[in-house]
Structure 1
Amino acid sequence: MEIWPAIDLRHGKPVRLRQGDYDQQTTFGDDPVEFAKRWQDCGADRLHLVDLDAARGDDPAANRAAVERIVKATGLPCQMGGGVRDEETIVALIDAGVSRLVVGSRALKDPEWFTAMCDAYPGKLAAGIDARDGLVATQGWLETSEVTAIELAKTLREKTANIAAIIYTDIARDGMMQGPNFDGLGEMAAATDIPLVASGGVTTYEDVEKLVAMKMPAAIIGRSLYDGVMDLSRVLEIAR
Structure 2
Amino acid sequence: MQIWPAIDLRHGKPVRLRQGDYDQQTTFGDDPVEFARQWQQAGAECLHLVDLDAARGDDPTANREAVRRIVEATGLPCQMGGGVRDEETIEALIDVGVARLVVGSRACRDPQWFTSMCDAHPGKLAAGIDARDGLVATQGWLETSDVRAIDLAKRLREATSNIAAIVYTDIARDGMMQGPNFEGLAEMAAATDIPLVASGGVTTYEDVEKLVAMNMPAAIIGRSLYDGVMDLRQVLKIASTPSL
Match of 1:180 in 2: 180
1:1-240 equivalences in 2 (<5 Å): 1-240=1-240
1:35-63, Cα deviation, whole Å (9 max, x unpaired)? 00000000000000000000011113331
Partner-residue secondary structure (3-state), 2:209: helix
1:191 Cα offset (Å): 0.5
Q: Distance in 2 between matches of 1:42 and 1:133?
A: 35
Number of matched residues?
Answer: 240
Structure 1's unaligned 5+ residue stretches are: none
- For the 8 Å contact 2:130–2:137, the answer to whether it is kept is yes
Q: Distance in 1 between matches of 2:90 and 2:63?
A: 15
Partner-residue secondary structure (3-state), 2:98: coil
Q: Distance in 1 between matches of 2:113 and 2:135?
A: 21
Q: Distance in 2 between matches of 1:157 and 1:36?
A: 32
Misfit runs of 4+, over 4 Å:
none
Structure 2's unaligned 5+ residue stretches are: none
1:214 Cα offset (Å): 0.2
1:2 Cα offset (Å): 0.2
Q: Distance in 2 between matches of 1:59 and 1:85?
A: 13
TM normalised by structure 1 equals: 1.00
1:97 Cα offset (Å): 0.1
TM normalised by structure 2 equals: 0.98
Code of the aligned partner of 2:116: A
Code of the aligned partner of 2:62: A
1:103 Cα offset (Å): 0.2
Q: Distance in 1 between matches of 2:234 and 2:110?
A: 40
Code of the aligned partner of 1:210: K
Q: Distance in 1 between matches of 2:11 and 2:183?
A: 35
Q: Distance in 2 between matches of 1:6 and 1:226?
A: 9
Q: Percent identity?
A: 86
Q: Distance in 1 between matches of 2:68 and 2:211?
A: 31
Code of the aligned partner of 2:145: S
- For the 8 Å contact 2:3–2:44, the answer to whether it is kept is yes
RMSD in angstroms over aligned alpha carbons? 0.4
Q: Distance in 2 between matches of 1:43 and 1:197?
A: 19
Code of the aligned partner of 2:9: L
1:143 Cα offset (Å): 0.1
Q: Distance in 1 between matches of 2:198 and 2:208?
A: 10
Q: Distance in 2 between matches of 1:59 and 1:113?
A: 22
1:90 Cα offset (Å): 0.3
